[in-house]
């Protein structure tokens, strides 16, 4: 699929809609940036619609040269209601709309847009119907389903799943059979794995959140340090951002741990890439994921991963690009020990497997070809039946 011809989207105007068009959207933001690049590569026009947040202006250039239209929130920030959003999307004369994320007003706006224009739109929940996520604040989600989500899901041309497991979740929660499955695209892979051994650095990059399960990771590292099970100079580097209470809990856990753990705070751009390039392993002991962009970024850097099966990237285990860990400190420690036990040749083989995955099924070209066919079919179907 990596060499598939790209469909021609010339003359097609596609809107991307989400609650955030900045780094505050985390992996969803990175997926949208990649989506915009893919659409432009096929000749399509992209307009991005999102709410204003603290990093909107700073990250606007990530979508260049596409237009980004941002709207002020009104009312509770968790809802992301934005007066004028729907009218702006209708005025943009889009051929198709792609909504990223659910449980906020953009879902409602997307359904209104589809109802008034009669044109197709897609919904990518990004793991937000995962059972672990769905169980959190269930009563609020029940109200939101009644308010707009059920209508939005019914009106969508199709729902988009990132993985087979998510496709099953979407069918069960929404009752829809029209579900397409296309993975996120990762960055372009590095040309090769360096011959020089990497320092014993384990890296986490992402949100600081309960679902990422970082406190057992810190506990595992601490227990291994107490037993002398880390190689000399080993470091655990944690880079990310999150709610104040989650960051405070992580800082407290690190303060009680031995030396060797660094909390770097938010890291982006070249500094983020440098961390990926130097790490011997990326770790993600998550309780719940859609398809984590951090893992795809690590594989593109030739960095093998240590992760749970909740990351929904089992091909990483099958191909040798990943080591499996569980959720508790003991199983995380065992996976770290297994990683340290690899000699350089064995590590290089895993790094090579990571690059192979990044350059094949998760390559931008392979994913773009699937999206191009999907968008083109929906737009053509609508034009024939308009």
Same fold yes or no, 13-185+364-385 and 201-359: yes
Q: Check residue 275 and give its pLDDT.
A: 97
Percent of the chain whose pLDDT exceeds 90: 72
Cα distance between residue 18 and residue 46, in whole Å: 14
| Residues 125/174, Cβ–Cβ less than 8 Å | no
Closest CA to 160 of 127, 192, 185, 188: 127
**Cβ atoms 176, 159 nearer than 8 A:** yes
CATH for 201-359 is: 3.40.50.2000
Q: Which fold has domain 13-185+364-385?
A: Rossmann fold (3.40.50)
What pLDDT shows up at residue 4?
55
3-state secondary structure of 145: helix
Q: Is the dihedral of CA 356, 360, 362, 363 positive or negative?
A: positive
pLDDT by residue (tens digit) across 247-281?
999 999 999 887 899 999 999 889 999 999 999 99
Domain segments of the chain as ranges: 13-185+364-385, 201-359
| pLDDT tens readout for residues 48-86 | 999 999 999 999 999 999 999 999 999 887 788 899 999
**Per-residue pLDDT tens over the stretch 231-247:** 999 999 999 999 999 99
Q: What are phi and psi of 240, to 5 degrees?
A: 170, -175
Q: What is the mean pLDDT of the chain?
A: 92
Q: What is the pLDDT of residue 385?
A: 82
Complete DSSP assignment for 331-363: HHHHHHHHHHT--HHHHHHHHHHHHHHHHTTTS
153: helix, strand or coil: helix
Gyration radius from the chain CA atoms: 21
CB 299 within 8 A of CB 305: yes
pTM beyond cutoff 0.85:
no
């Amino acid at each position: 699929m990596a060499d598939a011809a790209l469909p021609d989207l010339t003359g097609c105007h596609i809107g991307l809609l989400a609650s955030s068009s900045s780094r505050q959207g985390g992996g969803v933001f990175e997926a949208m940036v990649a989506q915009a690049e893919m659409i432009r590569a096929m000749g399509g026009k992209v307009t991005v619609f999102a709410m204003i947040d603290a990093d909107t202006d700073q990250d606007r250039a990530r979508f260049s040269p596409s237009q980004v239209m941002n709207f002020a929130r009104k009312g509770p920030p968790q809802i992301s209601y934005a007066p004028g959003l729907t009218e702006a999307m209708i005025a943009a004369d889009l051929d198709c709309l792609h909504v990223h994320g659910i449980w906020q007003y953009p879902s409602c706006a997307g359904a209104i847009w589809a109802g008034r224009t009669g044109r197709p739109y897609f919904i990518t929940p990004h793991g937000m119907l995962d059972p672990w996520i769905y169980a959190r604040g269930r009563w609020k989600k029940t109200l939101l389903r009644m308010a707009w989500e059920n209508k939005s899901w019914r009106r969508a041309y199709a729902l988009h799943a990132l993985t087979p497991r998510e496709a099953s979740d979407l069918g069960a929660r929404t009752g829809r059979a029209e579900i397409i499955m296309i993975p996120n695209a990762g960055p372009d892979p590095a040309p090769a794995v360096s011959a020089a051994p990497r320092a014993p650095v384990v890296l986490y990059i992402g949100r600081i959140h309960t679902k990422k399960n970082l406190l057992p990771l810190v506990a595992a590292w601490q227990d291994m340090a107490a037993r002398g099970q880390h190689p000399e100079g080993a470091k655990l580097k944690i880079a990310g951002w999150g709610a104040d209470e989650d960051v405070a809990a992580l800082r407290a856990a690190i303060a009680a741990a031995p030396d060797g753990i660094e909390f770097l705070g938010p890291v982006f751009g070249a500094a983020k890439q440098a961390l990926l390039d130097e790490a011997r392993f990326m770790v993600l002991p998550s309780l719940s994921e859609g398809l984590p962009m951090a893992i795809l970024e690590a594989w593109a850097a030739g960095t093998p991963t240590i992760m749970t099966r909740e990351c929904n990237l089992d091909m990483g285990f099958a191909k040798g690009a990943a080591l499996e860990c569980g959720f508790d400190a003991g199983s995380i420690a065992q996976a770290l020990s297994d990683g340290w036990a690899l000699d350089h040749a064995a590590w290089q083989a895993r790094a090579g497997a990571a690059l192979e995955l990044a350059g094949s099924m998760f390559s931008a070209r392979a994913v773009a070809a699937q999206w191009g066919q999907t968008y083109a079919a929906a737009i053509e179907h609508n034009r024939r039946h308009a």
